[in-house]
Amino acid sequence: MRGRVLGPDGKPFAGAKLYLNHSQPKEKGFAERATSGADGRFEFTIAKSELGKANAHNAPPQVMAAAKGHGCDWATVSADGKTGELTLRLVKDVPISGRILDPDGKPVVGAKIKVTGLSAPKGDDLGGYLEAVRKDNFQYTFAKDWAGPLPGRSTVLTTGADGRFRLAGLGRERVVHLHVAGPAIASTRLEVMTRPTKNVKGAKVSTFQTENLVGNRWTDLYMTSAK
């Protein structure tokens, strides 16, 4: 596997970590495969048999580049290893920060937030996704999807005494898929956009405060009830 990593400015990016999503235990982290050099280039070797093994999330083999302070990028590779050179472009980041409250408005301590996937639209622009949501069309097709936890970071975030959490490294104009569970609240899944916007039916944005989780009913500063 070989290719190059570019920064948001389109120039070669040094120090990005490269990961392969295949053959990883469901709850374990991904092994770092390589680091991009001064020219942005990377190369690592794996057995072809490893590409053919089933991923825990039944996803195609993909390579991801990640770097602190930036949004990640990824690309699908062929199972025979003949993909050729990859070009991965890091993007500006929009961290997700949130606060989980119980039905009484008190912070939920020890709530678990898991990233279950990440989606990127064509052209790194969520405009089409927002338009589809406004029309109650939830069959929008993203340009690419990453299934499972994200490499290079904790697979589970835990809220502290204030019920808050923060997740970075996703990138702007992305949709992150989350699973939330905790004491005295209903477990639920949700999609969060890394784009500040006004209230959109059925959609959540990057800065929010969640409450009324019992029965999977969600309200926050920007989103309406999921029911």
Task: Give the per-residue pLDDT at 39.
Answer: 98
**Sheet strand arrangement including 2-6:** 41-43, 2-6, 86-89
Interatomic CA distance for residues 184 and 113, integer angstroms: 15
Is the distance from CB of 193 to CB of 171 less than 8 angstroms?
no
- Burial label for 32, CB within 10 Å (0-12, 13-18, 19+), is middle
Q: What is the 3-state secondary structure (H, E, C) of the chain?
A: CEEEEECCCCCECCCCEEEECCCCCCCCCCCEEEECCCCCEEECCCCHHHHHCCCCCCCCCEEEEECCCCECEEEECCCCCCCCCEEEECECCCCEEEEEECCCCCECCCCEEEEEEEEECHHHCCHHHHHHHHCCCCCCCCCEEEECCCCCCCCEEECCCCCEEEECCCCCCCEEEEEEEECCEEEEEEEEECCCCCCCCCCECCEEEEECCHHHCCECCCCCCCC
Average pLDDT over residues 92-115: 85
**Which residue would you say has higher pLDDT here, 28 or 212?**
28
Task: Give the per-residue pLDDT at 9.
Answer: 97
pLDDT digits over 135-179, tens only? 877 678 999 999 888 998 888 999 999 888 888 999 999 999 999
Is the distance from CB of 90 to CB of 71 less than 8 angstroms?
yes
Is the distance from CB of 83 to CB of 56 less than 8 angstroms?
no
End-to-end CA distance of the chain: 45
Report all structural domains of the chain as residue ranges with CATH numbers, in order of start: 2-89 (2.60.40.1120), 96-216 (2.60.40.1120)
**Which residue would you say has higher pLDDT here, 215 or 140?**
140
Task: Give the per-residue pLDDT at 224.
Answer: 27
Percent of the chain residues past pLDDT 70, beyond the cut = 79
Q: Is the pLDDT of residue 220 over 50?
A: no
pLDDT band at 38 (very low <50, low <70, confident <90, very high): very high
Query: What average pLDDT does the chain have?
Result: 80
Rounded to a whole number of angstroms, the CA Rg of the chain reads 18
Q: Is the pLDDT of residue 5 over 90?
A: yes
Q: Is the pLDDT of residue 223 over 80?
A: no
Task: Give the per-residue pLDDT at 17.
Answer: 97
pLDDT band at 24 (very low <50, low <70, confident <90, very high): low
Task: Give the per-residue pLDDT at 10.
Answer: 97
Hey, which of 9-23, 41-55, 136-150 has the most confident mean pLDDT?
Answer: 9-23
Percent of the chain residues past pLDDT 90, beyond the cut = 37
Interatomic CA distance for residues 7 and 220, integer angstroms: 34
**Which residue would you say has higher pLDDT here, 60 or 57?**
60
